[in-house]
Amino acid sequence: MHHPRNALQALAGRPLRFLWSAWPWRSLAYLLSGAVFGAAAALVVSVALAAGVVAAVALVAVAVVPCGPVAGRFERWRLRLVDRAPAADPHGRPGAAGPRARLREQATWREAGYTLLSVLALWWVDLGAIAVGGVLPGVLLSAPLQPDTPCPSACPWPWPER
């Protein structure tokens, strides 16, 4: 029996079987975790902005770099939801130098950049995918249950008056 490695392989293999598998739920968990992480981080930045622009810039400068590796670990965990192959940890073994050695690694700065990008934009993409993939079909499927809802003026056909 063939076990797909990721959600795309599961969908391409047998689309109807995909719907009854764990992959849609795993994909939803991936999107929700990204939206929740980004919204929480954006809330922290918004609170800092309320304290002033200098406080927000200081928060980003002080928090994003140390939080980058944590966000990177979280993102590697999230990727396991939609792809069974683990993403390798790009960090080398920390030496005796401690946290300063991490600041010299390219991976730390890539993770910090990803964290900043996630806070500013990527969580909106996850939230939009959830809305388009879940909420919109739910609204459309519930339309027959809403007979008293007036038709918008853009409808191409006439509706009978009640």
The reported pTM is 0.67
Q: What is the pLDDT of residue 46?
A: 79
Six token digits for residue 44:
């922290």
Amino acid at 131: A
Six token digits for residue 60:
């980003």
Q: What percent of the chain has pLDDT over 70?
A: 83
Six token digits for residue 95:
């030496």
Band (19; pLDDT cuts 50, 70, 90): confident
The Cα–Cα gap between 105 and 69 comes to 11
Average pLDDT over residues 129-151: 77
Band (4; pLDDT cuts 50, 70, 90): confident
pLDDT over 60 (residue 153): no
Where does the chain have alpha helices with state H? Answer: 7-13, 15-19, 23-51, 53-82, 99-103, 106-117, 123-130, 136-141
**Radius of gyration over every alpha carbon of the chain, rounded to an integer in angstroms:** 22
The residue that leads in pLDDT, 125 or 58, is: 125
Average pLDDT over residues 124-153: 77
Work out the number of other CB atoms within 10 angstroms of the CB of residue 123: 22
Least confident range of 2-6, 17-21, 90-94: 90-94
Band (42; pLDDT cuts 50, 70, 90): confident
Band (28; pLDDT cuts 50, 70, 90): confident
Q: CA geometry: angle at 92 spanning 88 and 97, to 5°?
A: 155
Band (157; pLDDT cuts 50, 70, 90): low
Q: What are phi and psi of 6, to 5 degrees?
A: -140, 175
Closest CA to 89 of 79, 99, 97: 79
Average pLDDT over residues 138-160: 67
User: Does residue 67 contact residue 115 with C-beta atoms inside 8 Å?
Assistant: yes
Highest mean pLDDT (candidates 61-65, 73-77, 90-94): 73-77
